[in-house]
Structure 1
Amino acid sequence: MNADEVQNVTDYFDGIITATNPDINAIAPLQHPSGIRPTAVADWDTDYVNLVNKVQRHTMCKPETCLKKVKKSGPEKCRFDFPQKLLAVSTLCATDGKWGYTPKRNDPRVNRHNRGILQAWRANVDVSAITDKQAVINYVAKYASKGEPRSATYAEIFRTILDAGASGSDKARKSIQKLLTKSISERDISAQECMHLLMGHDLYRSSRSFVNITLKNDEWVPLTSVKTDDDSPEGQGKTILEKYKLRIPEMEGLSLFEVASKYSWSRQNWRKRAANKEAVVRVFP
């Protein structure tokens, strides 16, 4: 490319990407900008300043996040190359035949971003200029083939929690709570389960139906996004006790357990199940 073409491309990228801090000396706002909905923003310029300084600055480099050793015995370096050099003007240059765009910068720790995307997303973003086709192919291939790390065992999770430490008399209770939270938030997914989810297949099939009966005062209410058999609106449904009160005269002498196992509720009516298809009833508590 000639000088004019380079300048035109640079100007184009400058209109999309920036690494400039609109107010380096801005005072931290009382409310975190991520907690403000776009519809509640009163001043978009002030909002932009607060977002850049709160979510777009790479302020701390830590071994557990970005600090990596250049070699096994070498010094630690931020893998995102922060802090970065200040630039008065943006540059577009070719190195070893590959073009690269670097936006102008007045803050060594501001991440590249697009103002519109940042204020809509309201959290950290990273925007890069596409200047090389092969780099895009490599990027897509890398993330498409990237394997997930193995989930930690209960012993490993619990050891990490204990090392972090909870002080005082609540140490045991809080540690167990954290263990339960950690154990249900992450788990390994098998290749078979992944394919079932992608193809929309049921994860399991059963020759029997299951019916839950709760005897507590705070009755269970069906909460589901699947259309219920009684055509109720999404997320609503009658409890088994409410349905039992609506049984037909020939069912008057049947107990709640018998009704749940031998009859099914369909289209606002009880229908008898086939003799060999009685439901498995689970009673709580």
Structure 2
Amino acid sequence: MDIIDWQNDNEVHMAKTFFDTYVSAWNPLTKADQNNTVSYTAIDDPCLADTTKIFSMSPATDYEALVNTLERHTKCTQNTCLRKKGHLLQCRYRAPWPEQQTSTLTIDIDNKPCYAPARNDDRLNIHSPCMLSIWQANIDCQLVTSRKAILQYISKYASKSEKKSEPYTEMLKTIVNATTSEDTVFLTYQKFMMGIIADHDINTQETCHMLQKLPLITCSRQFISLNEVMLLGNLWLEVGLVNGSIGLVKNIIYEPNTKPPDLPKFVIVRFQNYKGPPWDPLHPNDIPITPIARGRHTQIPLTTAWAITIHKSQGLILDKATIHIGNTEKQGLTFTAISRVKSINGICIHPPFSFERYAKMQKSAFTTIKKKEETRLQQLSALTSTLLDCNLQL
């Protein structure tokens, strides 16, 4: 656009034809039908159609449904697009747009190239019919009319700051206050979930990488997995499937025509310390855990791995653990907790205990009994060594 000779009608026409090829603002419906609101169910919603349905219908019919569902800017409200300009509220997108039978490409009053498509619907956004049909969802379309415009666009979004999201409690209060008595619980929950997605503290690029399971070189946020589980029982000691092994649930597989509360056929868990033959060559650490019959009960030997009591940890073998030993010493529980972990490097005691706590442990009745037992064992060991030496000399 920067090299067009605006005095040359042929060059201007070629540029305008180029834009006409890729974008449109022409509604395939007649003027009388454009403002007829159509309510789609989950079955006939064009955005939810599967590929079989899309390929079996006419492309024109599919496009007609998509463009009137997604691309019409039907309402202007203060919560969406209305902004104060002086004493008046105006749409930030400048809708409604003037209708015209043919497209135009001109220089506006600010000496910038301005393209306006042919339009028979004053509420229809400029869009790409090809991208809309492929994506089956709303896609913002911004025409590049100059090198300066695209540089301004990139710099604007590269330096754009976003306010921190509201706490979930405040977000829920806002949604509840805006909910009417006619709204269903499902609608309120849906608004809450949409608010969580819309008010984000993570940039779009990272979100796209994670949705497509692409590796991130660095990440601006830390994530806590909600699907961490612990194995209950020694299934295969040699390969690392031991009591206390920690893994992440990757999938839950049910038999046909079954669902919760029925037991699944198996749960696929990813154990990082698994050293055995791969069940799935593409994911060698993913292992199916099947239900096990114990007495009269059949259960899956897994439990959530957020936290357990020290009593429950007895018999487990852990790589690492954060240990809360409480305010008072209870019959050697500190020793029990610490001895569950393989290495001292895997132990984190939080909150840390004071020296006074350690001093009290030394004076406790349990410590006194333990010291007497250790003294007795040392004496017995010395006597045994003496007798062995005597026998060797004879």
Tell me the TM-score normalized by structure 2.
Answer: 0.51
Aligned counterpart, 2:279: 232
Q: Output aligned runs, 1:236-275, within 5 Å.
A: 236-239=286-289, 260-261=316-317, 274=342
Aligned counterpart, 2:18: 12
1:131 aligns with 2:112: no
1:221 aligns with 2:221: no
Per the TM alignment, residue 59 of structure 1 is displaced from its structure 2 partner at its CA by 0.7
Distance 1:11 1:106 in 2: 18
Q: Structure 1 residues 152 and 104, CA, compared in 2 at 3 Å: closer, same or farther?
A: same
Q: Structure 1 residues 260 and 57, CA, compared in 2 at 3 Å: closer, same or farther?
A: same
Q: Output aligned runs, 1:74-153, within 5 Å.
A: 74-95=87-108, 96-153=110-167
Q: Confirm or deny: 8 A CA contact 2:317 2:342 kept in the other structure.
A: no
What one-letter code is carried by the residue in structure 2 that aligns with 1:199? Answer: T
Per the TM alignment, residue 77 of structure 1 is displaced from its structure 2 partner at its CA by 0.8
**1 or 2 for the larger relative contact order (CA 8 Å, sep ≥6)?**
1
Superimposed CA distance per residue, residues 229-276 of structure 1 (whole angstroms, 9 cap, x where no aligned partner) = 54332384244997xx9xxxxxxxxxx956531699xxxxxxxx8565
Query: Which range moves more in the overlay, 179-188 or 122-131?
Result: 179-188
Q: Confirm or deny: 8 A CA contact 2:70 2:137 kept in the other structure.
A: yes
Distance 1:257 1:276 in 2: 17
Q: Confirm or deny: 8 A CA contact 2:107 2:114 kept in the other structure.
A: yes
SS of the equivalent of 2:113 reads: strand
SS of the equivalent of 1:100 reads: strand
Q: Output aligned runs, 1:180-219, within 5 Å.
A: 188=201, 198-199=217-218, 212-213=230-231
Q: Confirm or deny: 8 A CA contact 2:101 2:120 kept in the other structure.
A: yes
Distance 1:259 1:240 in 2: 22
Aligned Cα root-mean-square deviation (Å): 4.6
Tell me, which stretches of 5 or more residues in structure 1 are unaligned?
205-209, 246-255, 265-272, 281-285
Per the TM alignment, residue 57 of structure 1 is displaced from its structure 2 partner at its CA by 0.7
What one-letter code is carried by the residue in structure 1 that aligns with 2:23? Answer: I
Give the greater-gyration-radius structure (CA): 2
Per the TM alignment, residue 116 of structure 1 is displaced from its structure 2 partner at its CA by 1.0
Q: Confirm or deny: 8 A CA contact 1:211 1:261 kept in the other structure.
A: no
Distance 1:44 1:63 in 2: 36
Query: Which range moves more in the overlay, 136-145 or 228-237?
Result: 228-237
SS of the equivalent of 2:115 reads: strand
Q: How many positions carry a matched residue from both structures?
A: 248
What one-letter code is carried by the residue in structure 1 that aligns with 2:21? Answer: G
